[in-house]
Amino acid sequence: MIQTPYLLFLGDAPDALAAKVAQGIKDWRPELAVGQLRLDGCNADMGLADMTIEEAVAKGAKTLVIGVANRGGVISGNWLDVLKAALRHGLDLASGLHNHLNDEPELVAIAQREGRALHDVRIPSVAYPIANGKKRSGKRLLAVGSDCSCGKMYTALCMEREMRNRGMKATFRATGQTGILVTGSGVPLDAVVADFMAGAVEYLTPDNDADHWDLIEGQGSIFHPSYSGVSLALIHGGQPDALILCDEPNRPHMRGLPHYKAQSLELLRDTALLLARIVNPDCRVTGIALNTSAMDEVEAAEYAEKIEERMGIATVDPFRHGAARLVDALE
Amino acid sequence: MIQTPYLLFLGDAPDALAAKVAQGIKDWRPELAVGQLRLDGCNADMGLADMTIEEAVAKGAKTLVIGVANRGGVISGNWLDVLKAALRHGLDLASGLHNHLNDEPELVAIAQREGRALHDVRIPSVAYPIANGKKRSGKRLLAVGSDCSCGKMYTALCMEREMRNRGMKATFRATGQTGILVTGSGVPLDAVVADFMAGAVEYLTPDNDADHWDLIEGQGSIFHPSYSGVSLALIHGGQPDALILCDEPNRPHMRGLPHYKAQSLELLRDTALLLARIVNPDCRVTGIALNTSAMDEVEAAEYAEKIEERMGIATVDPFRHGAARLVDALE
């Protein structure tokens, strides 16, 4: 569907977290990214070669992917010049922002004239059903976060890689724009109409082999007031057998909300289990995944050990140390 | 906006609950309904005069309101003939269904030809923001349900009436199609895109006088797997100071889901409070509202007394006995 390879557009991302779409592609499909394009003031860096649109085209790039997700999803004015130039030089555009490429008259006009495609991966492509809550065959795991952007997608992708290496049946199920751009399919849950959220998750994780695991990408947090409804729809639509608690240590407050302090892992465990057991009384918390990217090796190892002792459950940074112990707990 | 009075169309509603839109208008704005129109197989009855479209027009009706909400919100084929006839006889149409009047080519064509309006009150008319979670001035109460369709809207409307009778500042805040049709404004929360649900609730309940109460209509239930995400967005977007637990006694299972048993009021209290205190640590459960419509007078009174003793909190059927005790608890 989306032509590869990509040029990753980082725009004027204020920090690395804002460029998580680009980071996800770079980490999980690095062979698909020929380089990165950054504007003045960009504080994100994928470690890829910086290049102009012309250079990317010369390297074989077929699509410019907007790799930055800013709050509210707006396509800012100072990006438009770059996007128009990309179309004129023969690149398609792909975006996971709430505001759609296809709603920008200038981009639509140029794309039509040049025969280029505008991919809005956040637009739901299916008329999802209302959830029926019925038990499906197969197993499901859901990554639940103490906050937004704390490692839920990475945790599920790490576990998929580890399980496939072991010969287990496992499928990462993307629920956000990055996951969809990385894997080529999924449900853009943030953009689904409220009544159909849980049904979209059921649709994404249908009946499967008894020994197959769906590894469902979580969204938001049941503690984050802006997005908690989406998080609960994942719990109730996903009917998880297993939960992984995802946390980035030492955040001073909830992302984007300085007036909300971070909540404890104990409260996350108890609240998520309480809600999950409404739909699956056998649901268990099987592991804790830490995002220790801000720590050095020693600090990260000590912190994980401390949490494991406190919580009594396998605790790792799956991206740093591998997901083996999280998968062991499922076997 | 919507021309009155109404002819209430009950379609082939399988039971009274399915016609809750019509029932709401009849109970809260009876002066706006000239009569009802029912198809073969309809098991709902508003106690209004049954009439044809021609008779309703003769009585002065200006708009046919689709008073029945079927699962999934589809405009069924055997309704179309009635709706087309209504347009041809000079009535506008108003609907709160997920499937829109404006998406039915035949209706759109006739409406254009006849100069009639098609009102889809479920279509969000505002670009709602992402919730910012900030504390607003004024007080807010939210009706939370043990299930769908158990009396949340009625409870909030009863409390509004009682509070206004006492000279208190109070505003019912509609979050569903019936409430919007009854009061003329509100947010069709079921139809809002997931990421903006909590923001829509913040928009609906802005800063207000310190002694003003918003009485927020709840939706679904945190226990109902099809809709729980919407319910949590109401809790986190509404930042309620007070919760009323709403319940219809003796339901054998969750509405539409025979495989999910009803949950206890204790679990509803504890779960709703746990979630509400994430955004408002001072939130309290101030009362319990029972829908005792299936009980006789004695049975209803005894049941409420039993629940009040068990839960230790003011318990009434506000529609049957008035909301005085629920309002007392706020003063």
Contact call for A226 and B189, based on CB within 8 A: no
Evaluate if residue B101 carries a pLDDT over 70. Answer: yes
Contact call for B72 and A130, based on CB within 8 A: yes
Evaluate if residue B86 carries a pLDDT over 80. Answer: yes
Low-confidence ranges of chain A (pLDDT < 50): none
Q: Could you give the 3-state DSSP secondary structure of residue A286?
A: strand
Q: Enumerate the β-bridge partners of residue B35.
A: B7
Q: For residue B70, what pLDDT is reported?
A: 64
Q: Compare all CA atoms of chain B with the CA of A198 and give the residue at the minimum distance.
A: B226
Strand pairing category for A139-145 and A242-247: parallel
Q: Enumerate the β-bridge partners of residue A215.
A: A141, A172
Q: Compare all CA atoms of chain B with the CA of A235 and give the residue at the minimum distance.
A: B225
- Give A96's contacts (C-beta < 8 A, 6+ positions apart): A21, A66, A69, A120, A121, A122, A176, A177, A178, A180, A181, A188
Alpha-carbon gap: A144 to the closest alpha carbon of chain B (Å): 15
Q: Compare all CA atoms of chain B with the CA of A233 and give the residue at the minimum distance.
A: B229
Query: B198: which chain A residues are within 8 Å (Cβ-Cβ)?
Result: 225-229
Evaluate if residue B71 carries a pLDDT over 70. Answer: no
Using alpha carbons only, what angle is made at residue B46 by residues B43 and B47, rounded to the nearest 5 degrees? 110
Q: Residue B307: what are its φ and ψ, rounded to 5°?
A: -65, -40
Among B192, B195, B223, beta carbon nearest to A98: B195
Question: Tokens representing A65?
Answer: 């992917």
Contact call for A193 and B198, based on CB within 8 A: no
| Percentage of the residues of chain B whose pLDDT score is greater than 90 | 82
Which ipTM was obtained for this model?
A: 0.86
Query: A260: which chain B residues are within 8 Å (Cβ-Cβ)?
Result: 133, 278-279
Q: For residue A51, what pLDDT is reported?
A: 97
Q: For residue A260, what pLDDT is reported?
A: 94
Alpha-carbon gap: A75 to the closest alpha carbon of chain B (Å): 15
Q: Could you give the 3-state DSSP secondary structure of residue A305?
A: helix
Strand pairing category for A284-290 and A169-173: unpaired
Contact call for A229 and B236, based on CB within 8 A: yes
Amino acid in position B80: L
Q: Which CA distances in Å does A250 have to A23, A261, A264, B200?
A: 21, 11, 11, 31
pLDDT tens string B6-36: 999 999 898 988 898 899 899 888 888 999 9
What does the pLDDT average to over B294-312?
A: 97
**Sheet of strand A242-247: strand arrangement:** A169-173, A212-216, A139-145, A242-247, A284-290, A315-316
B130 torsion bin: left (phi>0), alpha (psi -120 to 50), beta (else): beta
Contact call for B278 and A130, based on CB within 8 A: no
DSSP B50: B
pLDDT tens string B151-204: 999 999 999 999 999 999 999 999 998 898 888 689 999 999 999 999 999 999
Contact call for B134 and A263, based on CB within 8 A: no
Contact call for B191 and A195, based on CB within 8 A: yes
Among B73, B198, B225, beta carbon nearest to A198: B225
Q: Compare all CA atoms of chain A with the CA of B198 and give the residue at the minimum distance.
A: A226
pLDDT tens string B213-251: 999 999 999 999 999 999 999 999 999 999 999 999 999
* Chain A contact residues (CB < 8 Å to B): 71-73, 98, 129-135, 189-195, 197-199, 222-223, 225-233, 236-237, 239, 254, 257, 259-260, 263, 271, 274-275, 278-279
Contact call for A236 and B257, based on CB within 8 A: no
Q: For residue B28, what pLDDT is reported?
A: 86
- Give B231's contacts (C-beta < 8 A, 6+ positions apart): A229, A232, B144, B145, B218, B219, B220, B221, B222, B224
Helix ranges restricted to H, A89-142: 105-114
Q: Compare all CA atoms of chain A with the CA of B199 and give the residue at the minimum distance.
A: A226
Alpha-carbon gap: B177 to the closest alpha carbon of chain A (Å): 13
Give CA A313 to chain center in angstroms. 24
Contact present, B298 and B320 (Cβ < 8 Å): no
Query: B278: which chain A residues are within 8 Å (Cβ-Cβ)?
Result: 223, 225, 228, 260, 263
Contact present, A186 and A156 (Cβ < 8 Å): no
**Over the Cα atoms of chain B, what is R_g?**
20
* Chain B contact residues (CB < 8 Å to A): 71-73, 98, 129-135, 189-195, 197-199, 222-223, 225-233, 236-237, 239, 254, 257, 259-260, 263, 271, 274-275, 278-279
Interface test with B, best of A136, A226, A236 (most B CBs within 10 A): A226
* DSSP string for B178-232: HHHHHHS----GGGSBGGGHHHHHHHHS----TTEEEEEPP-S-TT-TTTHHHHH
Contact present, A226 and B199 (Cβ < 8 Å): yes
Q: Which of A309, A320, A275, A307 is CA-nearest to residue A142?
A: A275
Query: A229: which chain B residues are within 8 Å (Cβ-Cβ)?
Result: 194, 197-198, 229-233, 236
Helices first, then strands: H and E counts in chain B: 12, 11
- Give B183's contacts (C-beta < 8 A, 6+ positions apart): B172, B174
Cα A181 to Cα A171: distance, rounded to the nearest angstrom? 15
Q: How long a stretch of residues is chain A?
A: 331
Q: Which of B205, B227, B206 is CA-nearest to residue B216?
A: B205
Size of interface A-B (CB pairs under 8 A): 142
Alpha-carbon gap: A242 to the closest alpha carbon of chain B (Å): 17
Contact present, A68 and A35 (Cβ < 8 Å): no
Query: B73: which chain A residues are within 8 Å (Cβ-Cβ)?
Result: 195
Alpha-carbon gap: B229 to the closest alpha carbon of chain A (Å): 4
